[in-house]
Amino acid sequence: MPAIYHHHHRVHSDEIDELDHANNAAYVNWMQAAAIAHSTAQGWPSRRYWDASCAWVARSHQIEYLQPAHEGDELVVRTWVADMQRVSSLRRYEIIRSSDNTLVARAETRWAFIDLTSRKPTRIPREVQADFVIVPDP
């Protein structure tokens, strides 16, 4: 059960904007892919949430862009759960370029846990909480 999950991604040509670096929207996609991969690694693939009639939805994203990412860059999106409250969870990310170990971006997402029938926030079940290690801020 990895407390900090490493998701690997190579920057594709369709993620590049007119300034010749990764488009801002690509970062959100990488963050979501890393969160889903981490959840799957913890035993919670999308299907399991659907079968339980619940899901995570993004409430907010914050991204601090530190260095540009370019086509072909190999990135590691490090992600972890920083807190888990009654109906929400804070997930943090560091996006690192593998070739030179440069921190490209720092980010976070506040996720809300919802009931799929009512589409309203609901308490995070104990079995979900138990399968994620909380990595508190230093």
- Mean pLDDT for 128-134 is 96
Q: Are 87 and 19 in contact (CB under 8 A)?
A: no
- As assigned by CATH, the class of the 5-130 domain is alpha beta
Q: Indicate if the pLDDT at residue 130 is higher than 70.
A: yes
Q: What is the pLDDT of residue 28?
A: 98
First CA to last CA distance, the chain: 21
Query: Among all chains, which residue has been given the structure tokens 């619940």?
Result: 54
Q: What is the pLDDT of residue 35?
A: 98
Q: Judging by DSSP bridges, how do beta strands 74-84 and 54-65 pair with one another?
A: unpaired
- Provide the residue type at 92 as one letter: R
Q: What is the pLDDT of residue 51?
A: 97
What are the tokens at 137? 């801020």
pTM comes to 0.95
pLDDT of 62-96, one tens digit each?
Answer: 999 999 999 999 999 999 999 999 999 999 999 99
